[in-house]
Structure 1
Amino acid sequence: MTIKLLAIGKTDNKELVSLIEDYKKRLGFYIKFTLEIIPDIKKVKNLSQAQQKEKEGELILNKINTTDVLILLDEKGKELNSISFSNYLQKHMNSGIKQLVFVIGGPYGFSQEVLKKANGKISLSKMTFSHQMIRLFFVEQLYRGFTILRNEPYHHH
């Protein structure tokens, strides 16, 4: 199985990029993981929030294969602790799917089309974080999830 994280807009903070890269490297020991950045939409000043969500939704759906399992990272999603998240990952790996795709949406959330296509939604927190921080938190939790599944000590540090 491959895990892909789709995110809108590049991370311009070098320290965050470095930390994300570190976790991406660590994840490589456990699973094939890719982080794909969808470029920010140009000329958003001329678009309503709904139009921006629609355009972002089209870009997201263009990156999804019909066989992918699509999970949205959404504040209204199901909250899991780290152990529950590791079990969630294991369940998906056991199901025989080819690719599990997690998506961090744009600033206004997801379009109706993306919401319809999604197989589930999970929340990393009730708090709101910047889209750049969420990437780091997500790759760290992914890594933590695999160390839990392997009974490695990282989880307790």
Structure 2
Amino acid sequence: MKISLIVIGKTDASYFVDAINEYKNRLVHYIPFEMEIIPDIKNVKNLREEQQKEKEGELILKMLQPGDYLVLLDEHGKSFTSMEFATYLERKMHVVSKRLVFVIGGPYGFSEAVYKAASEKISLSKMTFSHQMIRLIFVEQIYRAMTILNNEPYHHE
């Protein structure tokens, strides 16, 4: 299984880029991981929220491959502790044959088509974080889960 993280727009702040790259480099020792970036939609100020979600949704769906298991990072999704998320990933490793694809949507969330294509939704917090920050938090949580599953001392109870 491979884990893929799809995000809308590039990460602008260099300190986030550096930290994300650090965890991505650590992750490859455990599991194949890639972060795919959908370029920002042009002329968004001329689009209504729903139109922006539709355009982003089309691009998200184009990135999917047959056999992908799609999970949306969504405020209304299931919440986990780090230990529970590790167990979740372990279960997915046994049942997902190709790619486990997580998606961080744009500022207005996902289109209906993306919600329909998704198998699950998970939430990282009841709080709201910037899209730049949530990328780092999520990649770190995948890394943390891998260290938990390998009984390494990174995570402390």
Using the size of structure 1 for normalisation, the TM-score is 0.98
* Alpha-carbon distance, 1:125 to partner: 0.2
* Alpha-carbon distance, 1:66 to partner: 2.4
Percent identity reads 63
Mark the runs of 5 or more structure 1 residues left unpaired by the alignment: none
Superposition CA RMSD, Å:
0.9
CA distance in 1, matches of 2:95, 2:106: 29
**Which residue pairs with 1:94 in the alignment?**
94
Q: How does 1:61-80 map to 2 (within 5 A)?
A: 61-80=61-80
CA distance in 2, matches of 1:42, 1:89: 35
Render the CA deviation track for 1:31-62: whole Å, top value 9, x for unaligned: 00000110000001111000000000000000
**Which residue pairs with 1:6 in the alignment?**
6
* 2:109 maps to amino acid: G
* 1:134 maps to amino acid: I
**Which residue pairs with 1:125 in the alignment?**
125
**Which residue pairs with 1:116 in the alignment?**
116
Q: Secondary structure at the match of 2:107?
A: coil
Moved over 3 A (4+): none
Question: For the structure 1 residues 96 and 73, does the alpha-carbon distance in structure 2 shift closer, same or farther, using more than 3 Å as the test?
Answer: closer
**Which residue pairs with 2:144 in the alignment?**
144
* 2:58 maps to amino acid: E
* Alpha-carbon distance, 1:97 to partner: 1.7
Q: Secondary structure at the match of 2:145?
A: helix
* 1:136 maps to amino acid: L
Q: Secondary structure at the match of 1:156?
A: coil
Mark the runs of 5 or more structure 2 residues left unpaired by the alignment: none
CA distance in 1, matches of 2:3, 2:37: 14
CA distance in 1, matches of 2:58, 2:46: 18
**Which residue pairs with 2:39 in the alignment?**
39
* 2:15 maps to amino acid: E
Question: For the structure 1 residues 46 and 25, does the alpha-carbon distance in structure 2 shift closer, same or farther, using more than 3 Å as the test?
Answer: same
Q: Secondary structure at the match of 1:154?
A: coil
**Which residue pairs with 2:21 in the alignment?**
21
CA distance in 2, matches of 1:72, 1:96: 16
**Which residue pairs with 1:154 in the alignment?**
154
CA distance in 2, matches of 1:46, 1:12: 22
Using the size of structure 2 for normalisation, the TM-score is 0.98
Render the CA deviation track for 1:82-115: whole Å, top value 9, x for unaligned: 0110011010101142100000000000000000
